């Protein structure tokens, strides 16, 4: 097979057999990783009661996972390029399942934290590999769009599905089943991987792992995630917060400088410097930061202000999931091919900002049907327009040898966005609640009056988070509109690159395929 035909979307691409079963397998793996963040959150109160850890220690159940996951994503993506995607995919599934089983059986706080860190490490191996498998399996443009529509819907809706599943498992079974469920999913996915995921032979020489680059970027991402996590608990005035964030900045600069001279860079800079891909990564980051406000603060509002049970809270997000799936399918099959990401991503960002604005009107006596439901449906449609277009563009046209690390950048962007959203929105909400109580509690002379003011303060803090979430999405709409290329410009560049590649094919015959040959055909894409 020629180099050109192996590229996603390239002319002459041949559809892989049993590719839709491969999509099902990859979707299961992605769902397992994405829902894990919220499904465990629902289980935290029950786990805390059972294992007896403090409120201060509770955050480490979440932080241990996010630190390992966020800091090792680029390494995980590169390993899939080096040792093979099928092998890496199966190792990630088995490791994630074993770590989940260890967490479910944990008899102490320390064991649970250790298991969560292991989950994060294997999740960092699994998540980018799953996307890379999808990228290299679906090479026919129309089918690729459909596959990425499904993948994008799962990436956007996984958190809400986790709330629903976590509520059911916690209420009906036991908090430990929020971890054991991963074992069941992983067994099915491993069988699917063994049967349906094809082993792709390597083209050209096998590159070496960039050890200095791996150390630099893993340290940078660890410091970044830890810095924002520490800001959530200790505040923005903490020296530890700013120390880690400063270290992250220094290490990232050192990583970029090293990538410019490394013989086998961990993250070839042309991947992120491509204008469309850079815009896609930025859009995923902003969407991740903004969506945190929906899952966290709407969950708080439903359970504390409207007294919903965990199961009822999860069910309340179902209309949002439905709208997200609908929008994802419409976008990938109709709108993105016609208008391109330059139209669809800003459109989705604008809708999401509108949904956040609607949530700012929630009060203590609001109702779900009249006030919460419309906002969630608008948000769902907005996210369904953002994620598939962004994820597909982020991996489109990447050489097969770099598909893993390009896919890892998608997950890294989402993880960093979530960490930023967690720290910023939680801090802003806590400050707003404290200020509201300070200015109103003086006039409360009875217990009932103080309780009423406390309830109003909580709702006011949620509204503050929604306003900032709306600002995130509004900024994302402007940035996406400016950065993404127009569909006609992208098509013209692709045609020119294809013409140049075709003209140089004869001259390049017999030149061999060394490690640097992956760079040349990279622009041959069909957007």
Q: Which residue has the tokens 């404290």?
A: 434
The Cα–Cα gap between 164 and 142 comes to: 32
353 three-state secondary structure? helix
The Cα–Cα gap between 306 and 300 comes to: 9
Query: Is the backbone of residue 17 left (phi > 0), alpha (psi -120 to 50) or beta?
Result: beta
pLDDT at residue 353 greater than cutoff 50: yes
CA dihedral (405, 328, 290, 354) positive or negative? positive
What pLDDT score was predicted for residue 8?
41
Rounded to an integer, the average pLDDT of 174-192 is: 87
pLDDT at residue 419 greater than cutoff 60: yes
508 pLDDT band, cuts 50/70/90, is very low
Rounded to an integer, the average pLDDT of 95-109 is: 90
What pLDDT score was predicted for residue 493?
55
Quote the pTM value.
0.73
470 pLDDT band, cuts 50/70/90, is very high
Q: Kindly state the tokens that stand for 30.
A: 């992605």
SS3 of 30-78: HHHHHHHHHHHHHHHHHHHHHHCCCHHHHHHHHHHHHHHHHHHHHHHHH
12 pLDDT band, cuts 50/70/90, is very low
Q: Which residue has the tokens 């090479």?
A: 139
513 pLDDT band, cuts 50/70/90, is very low
Q: What percent of the chain has pLDDT over 90?
A: 15
pLDDT digits (tens, 9 = 90+) for 291-332: 776 777 888 888 788 888 777 877 888 888 889 888 888 887
Spatial CA neighbour of 182 closest among 108, 85, 97: 97
Across all residues in the chain, what is the average pLDDT?
A: 78
Q: Which of 33-42, 165-174, 320-329 has the highest mean pLDDT?
A: 320-329
The Cα–Cα gap between 84 and 129 comes to: 9
The Cα–Cα gap between 32 and 147 comes to: 18
| Neighbouring residues of 509: CB distance < 8 A, sequence distance ≥ 6 | none
pLDDT at residue 200 greater than cutoff 70: no
Query: Distances from the Cα of 382 to the Cαs of 9, 153, 223, 326, 388, in angstroms?
Result: 26, 11, 31, 11, 11
Rounded to an integer, the average pLDDT of 266-271 is: 78
DSSP state at residue 205: P
Q: Which of 89-103, 264-278, 450-464 has the highest mean pLDDT?
A: 89-103
Cα 5–chain centre separation: 29
For the chain, helix (H) and strand (E) counts, in that order, are 19, 0
Torsion of CA 75, 480, 329, 388, to 10 degrees: 0
**Residue 109, number of CB atoms within 10 A of its CB:** 18
The Cα–Cα gap between 333 and 157 comes to: 19
10 pLDDT band, cuts 50/70/90, is very low
pLDDT digits (tens, 9 = 90+) for 212-245: 888 888 888 888 878 877 776 777 788 888 999 9
pLDDT digits (tens, 9 = 90+) for 366-381: 999 999 999 999 999 9
Q: Kindly state the tokens that stand for 433.
A: 């609640």
């Amino acid at each position: 097979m020629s180099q050109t035909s192996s590229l996603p979307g390239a002319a002459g691409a041949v559809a892989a057999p049993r590719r839709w079963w491969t999509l099902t397998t990859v979707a299961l793996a992605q769902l397992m990783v994405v829902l894990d963040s919220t499904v465990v959150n629902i289980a935290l109160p029950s786990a805390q009661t059972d294992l007896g850890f403090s409120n201060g220690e509770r955050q480490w159940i979440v932080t241990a996972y996010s630190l390992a996951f966020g800091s090792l994503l680029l390494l995980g993506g590169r390993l899939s390029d080096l040792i093979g995607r099928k092998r890496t995919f199966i190792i990630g599934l088995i490791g994630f399942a074993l770590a989940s089983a260890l967490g479910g059986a944990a008899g102490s706080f320390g064991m649970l934290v250790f298991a969560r860190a292991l989950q994060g490490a294997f999740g960092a191996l699994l998540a980018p590999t799953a996307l890379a498998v999808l990228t290299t399996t679906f090479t026919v443009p129309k089918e690729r769009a459909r596959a990425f529509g499904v993948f994008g819907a799962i990436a956007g809706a996984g958190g809400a599905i986790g709330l629903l599943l976590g509520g059911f498992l916690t209420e009906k079974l036991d908090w430990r089943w929020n971890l054991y469920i991963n074992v069941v999913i992983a067994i099915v996915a491993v069988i699917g991987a063994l049967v349906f995921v094809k082993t792709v032979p390597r083209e050209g020489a096998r590159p070496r792992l960039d050890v200095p680059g791996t150390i630099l970027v893993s340290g940078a991402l660890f410091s970044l995630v830890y810095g924002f996590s520490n800001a959530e608990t200790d505040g923005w005035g903490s020296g530890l917060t700013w120390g880690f964030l400063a270290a992250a900045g220094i290490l990232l600069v050192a990583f970029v400088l090293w990538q410019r001279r490394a013989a086998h860079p961990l993250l070839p800079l042309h991947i992120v410097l491509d204008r469309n891909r850079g815009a896609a990564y930025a859009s995923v980051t902003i969407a991740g930061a903004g969506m945190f406000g929906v899952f966290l603060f709407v969950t708080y509002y439903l359970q504390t202000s409207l007294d919903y049970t965990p199961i009822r809270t999860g069910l309340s997000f179902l209309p949002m999931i439905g709208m997200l799936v609908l929008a994802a399918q419409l976008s990938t099959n109709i709108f993105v091919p016609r208008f391109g990401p330059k139209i669809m991503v800003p459109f989705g960002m604008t809708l999401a900002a509108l949904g956040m604005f609607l949530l700012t009107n929630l009060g203590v006596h609001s109702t779900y049907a009249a006030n919460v439901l419309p906002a969630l449906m608008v948000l769902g449609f907005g996210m369904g327009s953002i994620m598939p277009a962004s994820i597909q563009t982020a991996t489109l046209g990447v050489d097969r040898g770099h598909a893993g690390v390009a896919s890892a950048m998608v997950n890294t962007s989402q993880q960093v966005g979530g960490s930023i959203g967690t720290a910023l929105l939680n801090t802003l909400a806590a400050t707003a609640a404290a200020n509201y109580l300070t200015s109103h509690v003086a006039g409360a002379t009875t217990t009932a009056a103080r309780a009423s003011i406390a309830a109003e303060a909580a709702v006011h803090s949620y509204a503050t988070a929604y306003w900032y979430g709306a600002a995130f999405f509004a900024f994302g709409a402007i940035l996406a509109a400016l950065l993404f290329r127009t569909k006609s410009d992208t098509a013209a560049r692709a045609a020119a690159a294809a013409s140049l590649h075709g003209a140089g094919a004869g001259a390049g015959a017999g030149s061999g395929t060394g490690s640097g040959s992956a760079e040349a055909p990279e622009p041959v894409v069909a957007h």
